[in-house]
């Protein structure tokens, strides 16, 4: 009897010793990213475009240096990947398929696509012509075509469409488009005619109509857990402050109010998509999160919210960060890295609140943490 107890005790001890090696169900198997320069991590590197960031001092604080990220370090989606991975601590990254940050689609094919891919392209917009003055870029329509090609590869790898559809239904998709449709289209009347064709309200409607069709394409090709990221306060960027703000501090209300018309329509769009079979869509309030950070910089560890850490001219925002330029030393205290894009410090704040809402207004109807757990 005593021997049996010893055997049982040894068996239990062995079981507990092996528990850390047992793999829990992954939170998500893959992450697919669509967007513009806020999350582009290298898709524009080999494109003939002015919208590129594969040179120092971009990436000065990123482990592997310049990659094409428009920041000194991490982007918001990098932060989200880190948070998701750390959910399972020691064994999280490999279980989730995230051996590293989600790679750019330009460098990703075959088996690697099972972990997801980043399709984002700097200067891209919902409208095809958006960002044309900057040269090459992959519009949202082009990103969707690349995704469809990726899905075809996933079907081949997994064996059939049903298996692939089931797999993709567990993945997270994030879509953040629209910034350039204002910055590099509507509010650039010398180059584009949209501001003469449409009032801000009409333009918001036109964008939403096209965006809805594009996101439906994503749904029709397997996306079920989708975070739609609202456009941020572009009117508070160093570039807009440098050009249009009388004191270099007050945000450009004409731009921000137009963007809010678009964001309000996005919430309705999310509600509509949630009526589709198996759909779980959510809206991340990038505008509101940004507004709160700007309104309470000290509480967020920031001291400078109206200037770029790297750039030229008024607010370091008239010309963006130049090759080999020396950036500010106290980068963790700056919200903006260059004329348009947040620093890693800013991206960490935004990414964390996108994943786990700090305020009830940060996400609707749920944050990314809850979306991942569905």
Catalytic residues: 37, 338, 341
Assigned token pair, 32:
């697919």
Assigned token pair, 254:
């004409």
Asked if residues 36 and 63 have their Cβ atoms less than 8 Å apart, the reply is no
**Contacts for 240 with CB less than 8 Å, ≥ 6 apart:** 234, 251, 252, 255, 317
Burial of residue 264 (CB within 10 Å: 0-12, 13-18, 19+) is middle
Burial pattern 268-282, b for ≥16 Cβ within 10 A else e, equals ebbeebeeeeebbbb
Assigned token pair, 54:
């594969």
Asked if residues 81 and 101 have their Cβ atoms less than 8 Å apart, the reply is yes
**Contacts for 84 with CB less than 8 Å, ≥ 6 apart:** 27, 28, 31, 92, 96, 98, 355, 372
């Amino acid at each position: 009897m005593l021997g049996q107890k010893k055997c049982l005790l040894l068996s239990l001890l062995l079981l507990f010793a092996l528990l850390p090696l047992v793999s829990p169900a992954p939170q998500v198997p893959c992450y697919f990213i669509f967007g513009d320069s806020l999350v582009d991590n290298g898709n524009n590197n080999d494109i003939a475009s002015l919208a590129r960031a594969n040179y120092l001092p971009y990436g000065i604080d990123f482990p592997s240096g310049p990659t094409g990220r428009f920041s000194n370090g991490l982007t918001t989606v990098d932060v989200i990947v880190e948070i998701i991975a750390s959910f399972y601590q020691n064994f999280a990254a490999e279980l989730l398929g995230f051996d590293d940050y989600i790679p750019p689609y330009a460098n990703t094919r075959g088996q690697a696509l099972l972990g997801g891919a980043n399709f984002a392209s700097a200067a891209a917009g919902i409208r095809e012509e958006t960002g044309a003055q900057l040269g090459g870029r992959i519009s949202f329509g082009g990103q969707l075509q690349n995704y469809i090609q990726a899905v075809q590869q996933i079907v081949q790898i997994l064996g059939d469409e049903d298996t692939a559809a089931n797999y993709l239904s567990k993945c997270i998709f994030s879509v953040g488009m629209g910034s350039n449709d204002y910055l590099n289209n509507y509010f650039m009347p010398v180059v584009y005619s949209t501001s003469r064709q449409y009032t801000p309200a009409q333009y918001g409607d036109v964008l939403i109509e096209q965006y809805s069709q594009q996101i439906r394409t994503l749904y029709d090709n397997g996306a079920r857990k989708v975070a739609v990221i609202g456009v941020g306060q572009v009117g508070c960027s160093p570039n807009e402050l440098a050009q249009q703000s009388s004191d270099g501090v007050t945000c450009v209300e004409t731009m921000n109010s137009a963007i809010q018309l678009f964001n309000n329509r996005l919430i309705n769009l999310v509600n509509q998509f949630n009526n589709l079979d198996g759909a779980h869509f959510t809206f991340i309030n990038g505008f509101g999160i940004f507004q709160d950070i700007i309104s309470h910089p000290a509480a967020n560890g920031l001291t400078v919210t109206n200037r770029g850490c790297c750039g030229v001219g008024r607010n370091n925002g008239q010309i963006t960060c130049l090759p080999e330029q020396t950036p500010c030393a106290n980068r963790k205290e700056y919200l903006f890295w260059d004329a348009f894009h947040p620093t890693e410090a800013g991206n960490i704040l935004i990414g964390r609140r996108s994943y786990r809402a700090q305020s009830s207004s940060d996400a609707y109807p749920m944050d990314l943490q809850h979306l991942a757990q569905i």
